[in-house]
Every structure is written in C-alpha cells, then in structure tokens.
Amino acid sequence: MIKKVTPRQIAPFLILAAVAIAALFIPAASAFEDKEGVYNGADIAWIIVATALVFLMTPGLAFFYGGMVHRKNVISTMIKSVVAAGVVGVLWVVVGFSLAFGQSQGGFIGDPTTFLFFKDVVSGAPWSLAPSIPLALFALFQMMFAIITPGLVVGAVAERIRFTSYILFTVLFCLLVYAPLAHWSWHPDGFLFKWGVLDFAGGTVVHISAGCAALAGALVLKRRKVHIENKEIPPANVPYVLIGTGLLWFGWFGFNAGSALGANGLAVSAFATTNTAAAAAGLSWMFFDVVRGKKPSVLGFCIGAVVGLVAITPAAGFVAVPQSIFIGAVAAIISNIAVYYKQKSSLDDTLDVFPCHGIGGMVGMIMTGLFATKTVNAAGNDGLFYGNPEFFFTQLKALGIVVAFSFTASFLIFKFINFILPMRVTEEEEELGLDATQHNEKYLQGTLLVSKNGAMKEEEVANTAE
C-alpha cells in the first residue's frame, strides 16, 4: 500500500529538482590558464589531500556521536551528521561559496551572484590568500568546513529532532550563520579580518557558531523525557566513539595544517600544534576525572582529545608547539567543569556540544589572543603574552560579537522552523526511538540465539533496550 504524501513532504524533492534543472543552463567554462606559473604542484597536492581529510571528519563525527546515544537512536544521529555532506555539498556550489567568499557587501556578506552555481570558479584566478592553488580547490576545501559545522549541532538535539526539520535547519544555518561568519573572518574585506582578528581554521566560524547553535537548539527543543526523569542513558557503542575520535583526530590534520593553504613550514607547525594540543587535552580530561574520584575512561580521553582539537583550531598557525600543551590541557579542564555544571542544570544538550565545542572554541580564541606570536607566523600578531594587549582585546571583542550573533540567529532559525514545521518528535516516537520512527531502520538487525530453559531459541533482535 502506497502511503499518501503531503505537499510538505514533496517540497524537498521539488526544490532539488528545480536546482538540478537550473544547473543545466549554466554554461561550461574552461579551467584557468596558469600562464604566469603561479601554481605550485606541492601546494595543490597537499590541499587536495587536506580537503579529503576534512571530509573524513564528517563520518568520523557520525561515529563519535552515534556511539554515545541510546542504541535506538544510533542511525538517526549518524545520518544527521552525514547528510550535511549532501545538503551543503549542493548548497555551497549553488550560492554558499558566493555568500562566504563573493564580492564583499560592506564587509558583512558576499554577493550571491559572484560565484552563483560555481560561475567563474573553475575558470577564475586563484584566491588572493591562496595564490598557489586553483580557486576551485580553495572553494572545495572551504566547502568541507561548511559541511561539518551544522553536523556538530546534531549532538545537542539528538534523540528528539525530526529529520526533515534538521534538513531545513542545515540550509538556513549555512546561509544565515555560517556564510556571514566565514565572510567576516576569512574574506580580506570582512570586517573582523580587517580588525586583525585571527582565526586560523575555524574557532569562530565553525566551533563557536556550532556551539552557540547547539545551545539555542537545546533551549527551543526542550528536554527529553529521559532527561526529565533523570535516567542514565548507556552509550550504544563505546568502540564507535573511539573510532570516531581517531577519524576526527586524523582528519583534523587537514582541517588545521591544510589551513596554511600550502605545503610549507606553517603547515608543519599547525600539524604539530594540533597533535600536541589533542594529546595534552585527552590526558588532562582523563586525569582530571581521576582527581574528581572517577576512573579513567575511554569516553573521557576521547572527549578531552576532541576538546583539545577544538581549542587549538583558531590558534594552530599562530602559536608555538610548547604553548599548545597548555592550550589543550586548560581547555579540557574548563570544558570538563562546564559539562559537570551543565549536568546539574535543566539544560538538555544531549552530547555536551556547547560545553565542548562552544566553550572550547571560546577558550581557543582567548588563547590565540594570549599566545599568538609573529615568530611563528609573520602574517599574524603578537598576543598578550608577548606584550600586545591591544590584540588580546580585539580577540575578546570579536568573541563577544560572534557569540551574540551565532546564538541569536540560530535561536531565531530554530523558532522559525518550529513555527512552520514541528521540530520535536512526538512522545511516542521518542519512546520508540528515532531510528524506527524517522527512518524505519534498526541499529541491530537480524536474529540472536537465546538460551531459555536449557534450550536455544532464535529470536529477532529487539528494536529498543532499556
């Protein structure tokens, strides 16, 4: 029996079909001719690899989040991270890249027509801040950052948000929050860039924006039933979390070292600070748990390592390797304490996205203001630790602006979607699990041999488990 579909359900397909048909009328363009020999083969090769590494972070994030939720919500949580690759992958080509890196409109947003449907991207001259690689490669590298950012928000609203509502959130967040922040911070004419704000690989653009959106989403969607009843939810698969952490850590080398936009010494330095901060943060979180009377845990080390990666992101190409130990260790302790107090509150941020990514990103921006040095990167600045309080206060000012904008815009987006579409699943759907109710799929499939009264009996795997 074919179930009747509503116009609201058909709309996403019709929009995609319209975009696909419109794309047929965009003229093809030949590749940019490098007549002056500005391209560097090593830079191109490295950024292609870095682009692929950043993409790998998205399925890594899916494993990281999927392993921590209840087993009846594993698939629904993982697909929300991965589907961003589809939604943003199309949206970035159509208009996202233009909004972020198109001709600046007053330093706040790019002209949406500059690179509409990737017009003049393949045939265009290299980006001014990445002169040794093709513009198309720069656009693809930046696309991977745009893909993972809304995926980070999933952890805060997991186990209760409708899939279709999340898709719409991804579109609106990318257009109205991510693209403006990328323009402010990374476009030469962006107003934060002109102020001298330093964000090497996405402390503001990616992590603070996602963390603040996560906080907004948790407030709008309100608490899960299990959270109200104070029930402890066992992680579905801790090895998934470990796999996800490994993939994130591995991909983060592309995230940070790739942001040097070349195969050079700065990329090596960013690679080193990234690994060192993650290592220090993983140990710091785990050891701090022991100080508080807990046992060292796999989850603790994994979460701590990710917090370290978040905190070093804005600073990776501006601070020296020794200082990255301090950045990772301190960020992990601060986020650990933030998680502790969040758990005592009524805020239902399912997987602690705001305490880890939001606050971790804020700590990273502050640490950049403290420990940045022109000795590492002449294009950067000296921080407070090196006698420059003015730059430190510039970082703080930018931090306040980004937090206010990200939270307010994201809160309004969630409210708007909730007005036109129900964002929250029903209580019955929440009880059954989103895997079954949103996707008609199960994390565990097939049958098991169960011993009952001395006899072996084959039984179907249960969909839920308390």
Average pLDDT of 290-307?
Answer: 96
CA angle 60, 66, 71 (to 5 degrees): 155
Strands 447-452 and 109-110: unpaired
Predicted confidence (pLDDT) at residue 359 exceeds the cutoff of 70? yes
Query: What is the distance between the alpha carbons of residues 398 and 89, in angstroms, rounded to a whole number?
Result: 28
**pLDDT score at 459:** 61
**pLDDT score at 448:** 53
pLDDT greater at residue 6 or residue 336: 336
**pLDDT score at 451:** 65
Query: What is the distance between the alpha carbons of residues 222 and 169, in angstroms, rounded to a whole number?
Result: 16
pLDDT in tens, 19-62: 999 999 999 989 999 988 999 999 999 999 999 999 999 999 99
**pLDDT score at 418:** 95
Predicted confidence (pLDDT) at residue 345 exceeds the cutoff of 60? yes
pLDDT in tens, 216-243: 999 999 999 999 999 988 899 999 999 9
Beta bridge partners of 451: 456
**pLDDT score at 1:** 47
Predicted confidence (pLDDT) at residue 464 exceeds the cutoff of 70? no
- Stated pTM of the model: 0.94
pLDDT in tens, 172-192: 999 999 999 999 999 999 999
**pLDDT score at 285:** 98
Query: What is the distance between the alpha carbons of residues 168 and 175, in angstroms, rounded to a whole number?
Result: 11
**pLDDT score at 77:** 96
> Band of the pLDDT at 460, cuts 50, 70, 90?
low
Q: How many other C-beta atoms lie within 10 A of the C-beta of residue 321?
A: 16
Query: What is the distance between the alpha carbons of residues 243 and 298, in angstroms, rounded to a whole number?
Result: 11
**pLDDT score at 8:** 80
Q: Report in angstroms the alpha-carbon separations of 375 from 209, 321, 345.
A: 29, 12, 43
% of the chain exceeding 70 in pLDDT: 95
Predicted confidence (pLDDT) at residue 454 exceeds the cutoff of 80? no
Asked if residue 57 lies in contact with residue 255, where contact means CB atoms within 8 angstroms, the answer is yes
Tokens 């971790």 belong to 360
Dihedral sign computed on CA atoms, order 163, 164, 169, 172: positive
Burial 424-444 (b: 16+ CB within 10 A, else e): bbeeeebebbbbbbbeeebbe
In the chain, the N- to C-terminal Cα span, in Å, equals: 33
Query: What is the distance between the alpha carbons of residues 224 and 246, in angstroms, rounded to a whole number?
Result: 29
Tokens 């565990």 belong to 444
Residue 340: how many CA atoms within 13 Å on its side-chain side?
A: 12
Predicted confidence (pLDDT) at residue 447 exceeds the cutoff of 60? no
Residue of 223, 215, 232 whose CA lies nearest to 338: 215
> Phi and psi at residue 393, in whole multiples of 5°?
-70, -30
Predicted confidence (pLDDT) at residue 3 exceeds the cutoff of 70? no
Q: For 78, left (φ over 0), alpha (ψ -120 to 50), or beta?
A: alpha
Predicted confidence (pLDDT) at residue 465 exceeds the cutoff of 60? no
Predicted confidence (pLDDT) at residue 120 exceeds the cutoff of 50? yes
Q: How many other C-beta atoms lie within 10 A of the C-beta of residue 394?
A: 18
Asked if residue 365 lies in contact with residue 353, where contact means CB atoms within 8 angstroms, the answer is no
3-state secondary structure the chain: CCCCCCHHHHHHHHHHHHHHHHHCCCCCCCCCCCCCCCCCHHHHHHHHHHHHHHHHHHHHHHHHHHCCCCHHHHHHHHHHHHHHHHHHHHHHHHHHHHHHHCCEECCCEECCCCCHHHCCCCCCCCCCCCCCCCHHHHHHHHHHHHHHHHHHHHHHHCCCECHHHHHHHHHHHHHHHHHHHHHHHHCCCCHHHHHCCCCCCCHHHHHHHHHHHHHHHHHHHCCCHHHHCCCCCCCCCHHHHHHHHHHHHHHHHHHHHHHHCCCCHHHHHHHHHHHHHHHHHHHHHHHHHHHCCCCCCHHHHHHHHHHHHHHHCCCCCCCCHHHHHHHHHHHHHHHHHHHHHHHCCCCCCCCCHHHHHHHHHHHHHHHHHHHCCCCCCCCCCCCHHHCCHHHHHHHHHHHHHHHHHHHHHHHHHHHHHHHHCCCECCHHHHHHCHHHHHHCCCCCCCEEEEEECCEEEEEECCCCCC
**pLDDT score at 442:** 85
Residue of 389, 398, 390, 339 whose CA lies nearest to 365: 398
Average pLDDT of 386-406?
Answer: 98
Name the least confident of 73-77, 130-134, 445-449.
445-449
Name the least confident of 111-120, 230-239, 314-323, 347-356.
230-239
Mean pLDDT of the chain: 94
Residue of 280, 273, 95, 247 whose CA lies nearest to 174: 95
Average pLDDT of 447-463?
Answer: 60
